[in-house]
Amino acid sequence: MEQTGKEKSLADQLYEAQLRKKRLFNTNVTISWVVLLLFLLYLFSGTSFNIGNLEFKTITLDGEFIRENLSFVASGIWVTIGISFLSIAFAIILALFAALGRLSKFPPVFALSTFYVSLIRGTPLYLQIMFFFLALPQVGIRLPGFWAGVFALSLNYGAYMSEIFRAGISSVGKGQREAALAIGMTQNQVMGRIVIPQALRFAIPPTGNEFIAMLKDSALVSITGFVHELMWRAVKVGRATFHNLEALIMAAIFYWIMTIIFSYFQNKLEARMARGER
Amino acid sequence: MSAILRISHLDKFFGRLHVLRDISLDVNRSEVICIIGRSGSGKSTLLRCINFLEEPSAGEIEVEGLVARAGAKGKEHRELIHAIRLKTGMVFQEFNLFPHMSVLENVTEGPITVKKMVKAKAIELAEMNLDRVGLLEKKNEYPNRISGGQKQRVAIARALAMEPRVMLFDEPTSALDPELIGEVLTVMKKLAKEGMTMLVVTHEMGFARDVADRVIILGEGNIVEQGPPSEIFSNPKHDQTKALIERYRSAEN
């Protein structure tokens, strides 16, 4: 390498300038994030400062309360994740059937699918959870809070996710079906062996996004009062001694961290799926 | 010679468009037929009606004594179509390999899923057919990792693994870069030499001249002219045939 700075080609120079610009942008974003985070921490540090003769005090958190209740609140994380995993699994199955129904040429099946999606999307998730937990016992169906929550979340997300799966199935080209039919496959074999496996690949990244949203929507299940997930625990300890501020901040941090972690994996998955059309 | 495939009075409409008009055609065992014609002449539709990827509007398709009638409904008809599809292999312009399966799995898929063949036997059969098209060493690759010409050869192996009696080629080289056409045509020539009955919709005049036993000129849904390639190419009778051959000549030069 005998090239000096002056002898570098124009393309190299432009490319390096572009890289520098991008790196500078990323660095500045990171610094800003840290500043914002520090500011937030300072806001809750309990220290005081003066501007002229006026004394200001930042918000004071009860450290002892947090230390005492941290593990109690934190143990709700597993319940939150459990609800979310179960619900997303059921939701995927429901969404797949709803999507197949939506693509069906048989009117009753098409109607059933669109009816389900319309009904669920037309009512609040909060109402659906309450319905499973409070309304169903009136007709003799008693569900534990956990399962009422899981069923409501599954039905709700299944309806919304049916659109993802419909897009996935539609993304599989007509030629794929024809090739499968030409080697003698039945319609069911074409679906099961050729179309759905490819549709699922297409649907994996958006399903990851739905799971991350579900993590937070699962907090609504706490209203049943019988599911000891993150939100329920935060509200319980907060109310008992009027430490709602500390308790909710704890829960918020846990939700946020979970979201960051799962988003990280989600992004990796998405990048991998985008790279290889395997 | 007995006909292995018989098309009788076939009509096909797309909406109000009359694509195929009363086509009748007997294909003999081991015969290689090239179907040529302008785009929109109905040549692909004709091929696709044989295995009912397009439902014919009228007429009959007979493959080795199995007769399927256009417009028939019900379980018996569906079983007939299924049986005809088992006797016919199809190769598409766009290859249509299954992208989520390896090359080997593409070829074993039909025998395992459709014929319920045991896996070990299906693999043996698939490897034999991949070897036939010269791609055994690519068996563990995925379709997106091989060239267009290789994809089409895998597609041919996939069709052959079902041990069809008739092979239908729907413009097998039209989606290929010019330098990749040769390898596919070579495989097809080999098949013809082995005695496979073939119907080939193509623009490859050289292939038609060298390999076909009969050339069929299709125009506006009719068989305009047919005969051995020597006759069709050196002494075309119909104006449409002359124009078509003239156009291919000028394109080749």
Query: Predicted ipTM?
Result: 0.94
b (16+ CB within 10 A) / e for B219-251: bebbbbbbbebeebbeebeeebbeebbeebeee
Identity of the amino acid at A251: A
pLDDT exceeds cutoff 60 at A30:
yes
- The answer to whether B5 contacts chain A (CB < 8 Å) is no
Q: What would the pLDDT profile of A66-89 be if each residue is shown by its tens digit? A: 999 999 999 999 999 999 999 999
pLDDT exceeds cutoff 90 at A211:
yes
Mean pLDDT of chain A, nearest integer: 91
Average of per-residue pLDDT across A9-31: 93
Range with lowest mean pLDDT among A1-15, A227-241, B164-178: A1-15
Per CB-CB distance under 8 Å, the chain A contacts of B90 are: 179, 182
Q: Enter the pTM of the model.
A: 0.80
CA torsion sign for B131, B135, B139, B142 is negative
Distance CA B193, CA B196 (A): 7
Distance CA B110, CA B155 (A): 12
Could you give the angle at the alpha carbon of B76 between the alpha carbons of A172 and B56, nearest 5°? 60
Q: Do B85 and A184 touch (CB under 8 A)?
A: yes
Contact B35, B60 (CB under 8 A): no
Per CB-CB distance under 8 Å, the chain A contacts of B99 are: 198, 277-278
- The answer to whether A249 contacts chain B (CB < 8 Å) is no
pLDDT level of residue A26 (50, 70, 90 thresholds): very high
pLDDT exceeds cutoff 60 at A2:
no
Q: Note the pLDDT of residue A3.
A: 52
Distance CA B220, CA B41 (A): 5
Identity of the amino acid at A9: S
pLDDT exceeds cutoff 70 at A5:
no
Distance CA A85, CA A155 (A): 14
What is the CA A43 to chain-centroid distance, rounded?
A: 28
- The answer to whether B110 contacts chain A (CB < 8 Å) is yes
pLDDT exceeds cutoff 70 at A274:
no
Q: Do A184 and B82 touch (CB under 8 A)?
A: yes
Q: What would the pLDDT profile of A172-210 be if each residue is shown by its tens digit? A: 999 999 999 999 999 999 999 999 999 888 888 899 999
Alpha helical stretches, state H, chain B: 43-50, 75-87, 103-109, 119-132, 148-160, 178-193, 205-211, 229-234, 239-252
Q: Which two tokens stand for residue B159?
A: 């069709």
pLDDT exceeds cutoff 60 at A276:
no
Cα of first residue to Cα of last residue in chain A, in angstroms, is 40
Three-state secondary structure call for residue B192: helix
pLDDT exceeds cutoff 70 at A13:
yes
Q: What would the pLDDT profile of A43-74 be if each residue is shown by its tens digit? A: 988 888 888 888 888 888 888 999 999 999 99
Q: Note the pLDDT of residue A278.
A: 45
Element (H, E) at B4: strand B3-14
Residues of chain B with pLDDT under 70: 1, 253
| pLDDT cut 70: percent of chain A above it | 96
Of A173, A179, A278, the CB nearest to B144: A278
Q: Which of A183, A188, A189, A200 to mutate to test the interface with B (most CBs of B within 10 A)?
A: A183
Distance CA B169, CA B33 (A): 10
pLDDT level of residue A164 (50, 70, 90 thresholds): very high
Per CB-CB distance under 8 Å, the chain B contacts of A178 are: 53, 92, 96
Of B97, B99, B159, the CB nearest to A278: B99
pLDDT exceeds cutoff 60 at A262:
yes
Q: Note the pLDDT of residue A83.
A: 95
Per CB-CB distance under 8 Å, the chain B contacts of A181 are: 53, 85
Contact A219, A248 (CB under 8 A): no
Average of per-residue pLDDT across A230-244: 92
* Phi, psi dihedral angles at B57 (to 5 degrees): -85, -30
Q: What would the pLDDT profile of A119-148 be if each residue is shown by its tens digit? A: 999 999 999 999 999 999 999 999 899 999
Distance CA A257, CA A255 (A): 6
CA torsion sign for B231, B234, B235, B241 is positive
Range with lowest mean pLDDT among A2-6, A131-135, A167-171: A2-6
Q: Note the pLDDT of residue B253.
A: 65
Q: Note the pLDDT of residue A60.
A: 87
Q: Do A198 and B100 touch (CB under 8 A)?
A: yes
Please tell me the number of Cα atoms within 13 Å of B211 on its side-chain side. Answer: 27
Of B53, B144, B158, the CB nearest to A178: B53
- The answer to whether B79 contacts chain A (CB < 8 Å) is no
Give burial (CB, 10 Å; 0-12/13-18/19+) of B72: middle
pLDDT level of residue A275 (50, 70, 90 thresholds): low
Stretch 181-210 of chain A: residues touching chain B, C-beta under 8 Å: 181-186, 189, 193-194, 197-198, 201
Please tell me the number of Cα atoms within 13 Å of B208 on its side-chain side. Answer: 30
| pLDDT cut 90: percent of chain A above it | 75
Non-local CB neighbours of B27 within 8 Å, separated by 6+ positions: B3, B4, B5, B6, B7, B33, B166, B197, B199
pLDDT exceeds cutoff 80 at A272:
no
Of B86, B96, B115, the CB nearest to A175: B96
Non-local CB neighbours of B204 within 8 Å, separated by 6+ positions: B173, B181, B185
